[in-house]
Chains A and B, each alone.
Chain A
Amino acid sequence: MASISGTAIATFARPQFAARAQVVKGFSGLKSVSFSIQRNGFPSVRLQPAPRRFQVSCAQAKPETVQKVCEIVKKQLALSDDTPVTGESKFSALGADSLDTVEIVMGLEEAFEISVEEESAQSITTVQDAADLIEKLVEAKSS
């Protein structure tokens, strides 16, 4: 039940940068910046691990969270152990269709004891997105 163009997922409306835009507001790393070195605008002194090139995030999820998401994804998509799945892996590139995606979301909800809103679920395109969202929800739950 996957669809195209491009891709595999029938849920083709994936506003890829919408989720990013929300997060940019909270980016605190820009407080103390030195632009003496000409770079792409990233501060030379980093308070947190380097953000990935085209993404700005408040805080990236812990590696353990990413790892757990990878496990759940691999299980749902029945991927072999040697199939590389990392934070950067896109669900569509792994062959996940819309039913896989909702099953993955349910698996994540169960594993992390959270509840994911439909709108948030639709903005997840990579494993990293899922992990980041999970940590946000876990944190919101405990605060």
Chain B
Amino acid sequence: MSWLLRRNMLPLHSNSLARRPLASPPPLLPAPLPSPRETHLWYVVPDQLKDASLLNQYMDLLSPCERQSVLRMNGERLQKGALLARALVRTTLARYCRVSPKSFKFRKNRFGKPEVEWNKYDLWAPPPLQFNISHTSTMIACGVALDLPIGVDIEEKQRKTRNNILSLARRYFSPVEVAYLRTLADLESQRHEFIRLWTLKEAYVKALGRGFSGAPFKDFTIRLEASNSKQVTGESKSDASRIVVEAVDHPGILMNRWHFALFELNNSHYAAVCMERDVKDPADRENNSLKLEVWRTLPFVEDECVTETAAVKNIIR
């Protein structure tokens, strides 16, 4: 597959994206496939994008349908965010598949979850990658896993809510979660924990892929559970406890099919990942925790693996 981009395929539109002939973009850093139980997370910080011609390169990766969706966003800032999100998904997947980012087709499953449409590729077997994306105005993240459902959610640490935290929790969270939030004495801690719990719940629902109504927030609890198994990961800061999910109607029966990671990203965001376990894999059955590799990227410009750095900290699994 070549990197050659078709020129002048963009419809005319009046916004700040200048139309000029595009040179071929530099190749993307390829990435080795995620191993079992491993999530790869790639994130981009929109403010780091200063070069308008880069926006053109990204726009050129998109399908006509995606371009229209981007342009339907209300205002330039939201359009740039939507464009970056699509560019991030395409370039991230391209790294694993060694094809042009342009070549992916996407569709939604019957519940609306976006996924790659793989049957286009007759002559070779692409890796069965699953992905999920999340964005805020200051960061976009794309999680990738091999052959297992994944959900990702990020949120700004400083996010304020208009409504009172406990009111929101009583309305949308499970009783156990509300009780937990009420144990926190100061409002700031409550707000932080609310946000962290929200990202975990979102990540779980997104991993399930059945949409918000497929797994109403009120119907399940996410919490910490003291763990019997040893944590293999050296840098884990939890005291042998793990994040678990259970149905409100069946407390104590943990839905072990799912494992989680919750951490701080780039000092600015909370991030949650939820991934299905491979029940056929004996190692996974022992409740070993999810492995995480994280890259900061500006596609076609720079990539940095930040897994062992201060950009990824306070990991709870």
Contact = CB atoms under 8 A, between A and B. Distances in A.
A13 B210 contact: yes
A12 to B, nearest CB: 4
A98 B212 contact: yes
The 3 A-B pairs at the shortest CB distance, nearest first, are namely A13-B211, A11-B212, A13-B112
28 contacts: A1-B202, A2-B136, A3-B134, A3-B153, A4-B85, A4-B114, A4-B133, A5-B66, A5-B85, A5-B108, A6-B66, A6-B69, A6-B114, A8-B81, A10-B202, A12-B112, A12-B211, A13-B213, A14-B211, A76-B162, A89-B74, A93-B73, A93-B74, A97-B135, A98-B202, A98-B212, A118-B212, A118-B218
Interface of B: 66, 69, 72-75, 78, 81-82, 85-86, 89, 106, 108, 111-114, 132-137, 153-155, 159, 161-163, 167-168, 171-172, 198-199, 202, 205-206, 210-214, 216, 218
A11 B153 CA distance: 11
Please classify the interface of chain A as helix (H, G, I), strand (E, B), loop, or mixed, using the class held by over half of its residues.
loop
B137 A10 contact: no
B212 A122 contact: yes
Given A3-B153, A94-B74, 10 more contacts: A1-B134, A1-B198, A1-B202, A8-B82, A12-B114, A12-B206, A84-B74, A95-B74, A95-B137, A102-B172
A11 B202 CA distance: 9
B194 to A, nearest CB: 10
Contacts of B112: 12-15
A107 interface: yes
A107 B162 contact: yes
Nearest to A107: B162
A8 B73 CA distance: 10
A85 to B, nearest CB: 8
B155 A102 contact: no
A95 B75 CA distance: 10
Contacts of B82: 7-8
A5 B135 CA distance: 11
Contacts of B202: 1, 10, 98
Contacts of A118: 212-213, 216, 218
Contact of B89 (A4, A13, A107): A4
A61 B69 CA distance: 27
A102 B212 CA distance: 11
B159 to A, nearest CB: 8
Interface of A: 1-8, 10-15, 75-76, 83-84, 89-90, 93-95, 97-99, 102-103, 106-107, 118-119, 122
Given A3-B133, A12-B113, A13-B213, A99 B161 contact: yes
B73 to A, nearest CB: 5
Contact of A95 (B81, B133, B159, B199): B81
B162 A103 contact: yes
Contacts of B72: 90, 93
B212 A99 contact: no
A118 B173 CA distance: 12
B199 A1 contact: yes
Nearest to B69: A6
Contacts of A10: 134, 153, 202, 205-206, 212
Contacts of B154: 1
A15 B213 CA distance: 10
Contacts of B69: 5-7
